[in-house]
Chain A
Amino acid sequence: MPSSPSQLRTAKACTLEDFSSDCDISSIIEHTQKCLVLELEDDAIRECGAAALAIIASKPDDVLRLAHRKLHTWPFRDVPICWRRLYEDASLWKVIASLRMQTCRRNPKNHAIDTVSRKRKRRGDQENPEGHSSSPAVEGPSMTDDGMSWPTFMAGDWVADIVKVLDMAIILTGAPSRKHLFNKLFDNLRSSLLHEVSKSDTLKEFPPNRLCRPKVRLPMQNYKALSSEMDFTAFQEHLDASATPLILEGAISHWPACSAWKNPAYLMQHTLGGRRLVPVELGRSYTDEDWGQKIMTFAEFMHDYLITPTPKQTGYLAQHDLLAQIPGLLKDIQTPDYCFTAPPPATPEILHGQPTPPHLEEPLVNTWLGPGGTISPLHTDPYHNILCQVVGHKYVRLYAPSETPKLYPRGVDEAGVSMENTSQVDVSIAMELAGRSAAVGDDSEISHENARNDFEERFPLFKDARYIEAVLAPGDSLYIPLGWWHYVESLSTSCSVSFWWN
């Protein structure tokens, strides 16, 4: 039986070496529990009150529900940290209880954990039961067009259930004190899945999904990166002199990610067979009314939005720190040297009404994975950005801060949130309206003409705004200076990694 927190005792912090490399469930249970019963110094969790702590080990589900309720009592930034701590620890106790149940069910002769068998599922088979709030059901796709069945998480897939609990805890709390325990558990679960055979292993590449590549009429400056033309020193000099956008060709072509991440099976393996939960943006563009976000398994995102030739809508795994969530992928990338230069400081005009962000000790890294046709509407960021193109192609268009009056920035919305860093202009629509040739005597041409007139009326100065554009190829990087407006559209299945720094 687990020792209760009433037996909390202070001891030296357990180290990672205490944990054996054996992937036996019992070891990870013991290790996790040992860490949980240790009293952390100044642990805010005590402010949750003795009643919750008294049953956190024996009744983690009830405590999780209390913590979940408290996490939603205030706007997220006002939530006292004690509730994040309670949710975090209750999740780990719940996982311990699940793992214990698996220990009891194990074949005593065979220490290996039962592998989850993959079977072909017929349409309409029962999905993984939902026990937890805001965790979506993993849809049970049956066959893709080429007759392969995708991993579906069967009822009884205890690994998927545990991953869901862990990932929801990370999403809701940011794992303030137990990140090492979460990572250790994911690693342990990963070793237990090594024997898992999945049909998805045969899918070595994303299907070709290429949209028309637009002509680049107004190219930006383009350099072969890392040559003497634009090495670290030259880049610093460029920042000191003009700090304008640059394409750095081949800047990241040495990244293992450029070949490894083209392979869906590789990504599925690193996300525990696609069981890890990720936030996906659904809809054409975040400025549209019907845009939303949904948390789903990586497998669901992969199947329903990346691989399928006919997705129900656009799904974009956007602006997500995937590398923090999946540290195993960190070895595939390398922070560009350019991020360690000293860029010019931000001025209030360039920040477009946004507050000055704090100095970043380390670059903020985000991953952007999606099908062809994803759109990031015209906006600015309060950081300098090196956008690295890993897989596929992206079209980018940049406008200088001086063009801001011609770009019709939004104002402050009803909730008091400043949207001044986002343009009212839908660049993809502008491109479409500008692109059509003037044919005569056609109904659609008349409505096209009306649309063009409406656009002209709303945004008369837009056509005079000067821009530069480029198509990023795998291995390229793009320097986007702070305050420069940028519009990004993927031309194929695409994966990018952005580095924000100041």
Chain B
Amino acid sequence: MSELKTRTAGHRQTANDGASKPTSMLCAGLNAHSQLQAGTQADVRKFTPVEDISTPQKGADVLFAGWSTTVFSSGNKIWTQGFQPISSTLGGNAAHEDIQTRSVIGDHDGFLALLTTSGDLYTVFSSSDAQSATLQLMTTESSPSIALIAFAGTGRIALTFKQAPNGNLCHIAEFNTLDRFLAWYRDPSDSDCYPDKHHMLPGRPAQLLANTASFILLLENGEVYSWGDPRHQSLGRAINGEGTTKADVPGIVEALGGLKITKIASGGWMSAAFSEDGALYLWGAAGAPGHDRSIRCLREAGAGEVALVELLASAHDEPLDVIDVAIGDAHVAVATSDGRLFVVGDNKDGQLGLDSAEDFIEDWTEARGLSDVQRVVCGSNSTYVFVH
């Protein structure tokens, strides 16, 4: 279903970056490492306020939610809840301005690195005598100048290089492993450390994400590219036949052609994109590999097709405008312009926050009891919502 829908651009709120207006955070999902709620290992099956006495101030942001650890930030302070203890201040105590995070990477074991808007790369550093790990700045004058970075479940790294303000060539590099990336970052002139792949595209990158086995790139002009493992329809585009691009090379998601996409999301074997007029598109595996339940709206979509997702407040309404979307390992959460949250997919750990014992929800369901939802972030088995 790739037909475009013209939407009347009504009044809607843009996604809030969480730093300017007072917001509070709620969470639901896997809590086996007490990463969502301290003092217990039981799953959090309904949306519960994130309470952390070490939260320095309200307006905290979730930088990364992984299988075992959640990473929070407020200003330049970084701390975690869950398995991996991190307590750190970016830029050291001398930093005066708030450092803006552009990309974060981590995995099931915890947080790995963050990249700031100025191109500074911080990696997690733990010393044997410290209780918590800290984030250490890796960037030196001779470091490569990178803008965005993403880390797939297969262990592959993709990054985009910083562009000149007027530049229009997007240069992407790929590494087979995180270690290979770090070795190159430390010594980019060493020929043994060169990137494993290079790609060039016309355009200016806005967002670079990864899911289990593929990468997805949003350009400033609203085009979306995908590449990686094509199984389970995860790329949302054809990879065989005339005029197609191979799977392992970035190819444009033609089903979104002509749309100006505002934001993309990716997780598990799915990806999503919503346009500037609030239409949401979803593609990838309807059911996670090896599982028998599946998301109904994705079942019909074939290879190279995307599903238009229409969320309604009630049966006779017009579809709602989407202002944010996030994808976990097998679940999706969507915030709409009227402040609602809709969820679908895996609920084995309660990540849909519906206070339901169901293992899987096949159809989009509103998470009731939430109002004025501004933003949503998903971990592999958890969901965080930001409300006013």
Residue of A whose beta carbon sits closest to that of B69: A51
Cβ contacts under 8 Å, B110 to chain A: 49, 51
Of residues 37 through 73 on chain A, the ones whose CB sits less than 8 Å from some CB of chain B are 49-52, 54-55, 58-59, 62, 65-66, 68-73
Within 8 A of A (CB), among B26-55: 30, 32-33, 41
Residue of B nearest to A51 (CB): B68
- Count of B residues near A, CB < 8 Å? 28
Q: Do the beta carbons of B67 and A51 come within 8 Å of each other?
A: yes
Contact residues in B for A133 (Cβ distance below 8 Å): 290-292
Tell whether, in the assembled complex, residue B83 and residue A51 are in contact, meaning their CB atoms are under 8 Å apart: yes
Question: Complex Cα distance A59/B292, Å?
Answer: 23
Question: Whole-angstrom distance from the CB of A288 to the nearest CB of chain B?
Answer: 22
The minimal Cβ–Cβ distance linking A65 to chain B, given in whole angstroms, is 7
The answer to whether A72 and B288 touch (CB under 8 A), given A50-B83, A51-B108, A51-B109, is yes
Query: Is A444 part of the binding interface, using a Cβ–Cβ cutoff of 8 Å?
Result: no
Report the nearest A residue to B268, measured CB to CB. Answer: A69
Contact A52 B153 (CB under 8 A): no
Evaluate whether A66 and B108 lie within 8 angstroms (CB atoms) in the complex, with A50-B83, A59-B41 already known: yes
Closest to A414 in B: B240
CB-defined contacts of B212 to chain A, threshold 8 Å: 69, 73
Specify the chain B residue showing the minimal Cβ separation from A68.
B290
Q: In the complex the two chains form, is B290's CB within 8 Å of A66's CB?
A: no
- Assembly CA distance A414 to B107 (angstroms): 33
Closest Cβ–Cβ distance, residue A173 to chain B (whole Å): 13
* A396-430 interface bits toward B, Cβ cutoff 8 Å, 1 = contact, 0 = none: 00000000000000000010000000000000000
Question: Across the interface, do A74 and B83 meet the contact criterion of CB distance under 8 Å?
Answer: no
Q: Kindly state whether residue B329 has any CB partner on chain A within 8 Å.
A: yes
Chain B residues lying within 8 Å of A72, measured Cβ to Cβ, are: 288-290
B290 touches A55 (CB 8 A): no
Question: Could you tell me the distance between the alpha carbons of A481 and B60 in the complex, rounded to whole angstroms?
Answer: 71
Contacts of A313 in B (CB 8 A): none
User: Once the chains bind, are A73 and B108 in contact (CB under 8 Å)?
Assistant: no
A175 CA to B108 CA, complexed, in Å: 23
CB of A447 within 8 Å of the partner chain: no
What is the bound-complex CA distance between A72 and B107, given in angstroms? 16
CA distance A391 to B344 in the complex (A): 51
Contact of A62 with B30 in the complex, beta carbons under 8 Å: yes
Give the distance in Å from the alpha carbon of A55 to the alpha carbon of B109 in the complex.
Answer: 12
Can you name the residue of chain A whose Cβ is closest to the Cβ of B82? A51
Q: Give residues 102-145 of A contacting B (CB, 8 Å).
A: 130, 133-134
Q: Which residues of A contact B30 (CB under 8 A)?
A: 62
Q: Are B32 and A74 in contact (CB under 8 A)?
A: no
Smallest beta-carbon distance B213→chain A, Å: 6
Annotate B224-245 by CB proximity to A: 1 below 8 A, 0 otherwise. Answer: 0000000000000000100000
A226 to chain B, nearest CB (A): 47
Residues of A within 8 A of B153 (CB): 69-70, 73
Q: Which residues of A contact B107 (CB under 8 A)?
A: 49
Contact B291 A59 (CB under 8 A): no
Task: Find out whether the CB atom of A62 lies under 8 angstroms from the CB atom of B154.
Answer: no
Chain B 57-88 interface mask (CB, 8 Å, partner A; 1/0): 00000000001110000000000000110000
Pick from A50, A54, A62, A130 the residue with the most CB of B within 10 Å: A62
Q: Does B348 contact A (CB under 8 A)?
A: yes
Please determine whether B41 and A66 come into contact, CB atoms closer than 8 angstroms.
no
Per the bound structure, the CA–CA distance linking A371 and B41 in Å amounts to 50
* Nearest CB in chain B to that of A131: its residue: B359
Contacts of A66 in B (CB 8 A): 67, 108
With a cutoff of 8 Å between Cβ atoms, the chain A residues found around residue B41 in the complex are: 55, 58-59
**Residue in chain A with minimal CB distance to B291:** A133
A–B complex contacts, Cβ < 8 Å, 29 sampled: A49-B108, A49-B109, A49-B110, A50-B83, A50-B109, A51-B33, A51-B67, A51-B84, A51-B110, A52-B68, A54-B83, A55-B32, A59-B32, A59-B41, A65-B348, A66-B67, A69-B329, A69-B380, A70-B153, A72-B289, A72-B290, A73-B153, A73-B154, A73-B212, A74-B154, A74-B213, A133-B291, A134-B290, A134-B292
Q: Which residues of A contact B (CB under 8 A)?
A: 49-52, 54-55, 58-59, 62, 65-66, 68-74, 130, 133-134, 414
New A-B contacts (13) at CB < 8 Å, excluding given A50-B83, A62-B30, A69-B212: A49-B109, A49-B110, A51-B33, A51-B68, A51-B69, A51-B84, A52-B108, A55-B32, A59-B41, A72-B289, A73-B153, A73-B212, A74-B154
Give the interface of B toward A (CB within 8 A): 30, 32-33, 41, 67-69, 83-84, 107-110, 153-154, 212-213, 240, 288-292, 329, 348-349, 380-381
Nearest first, the 4 closest Cβ-Cβ pairs linking A and B are A49-B109, A51-B68, A72-B289, A51-B83
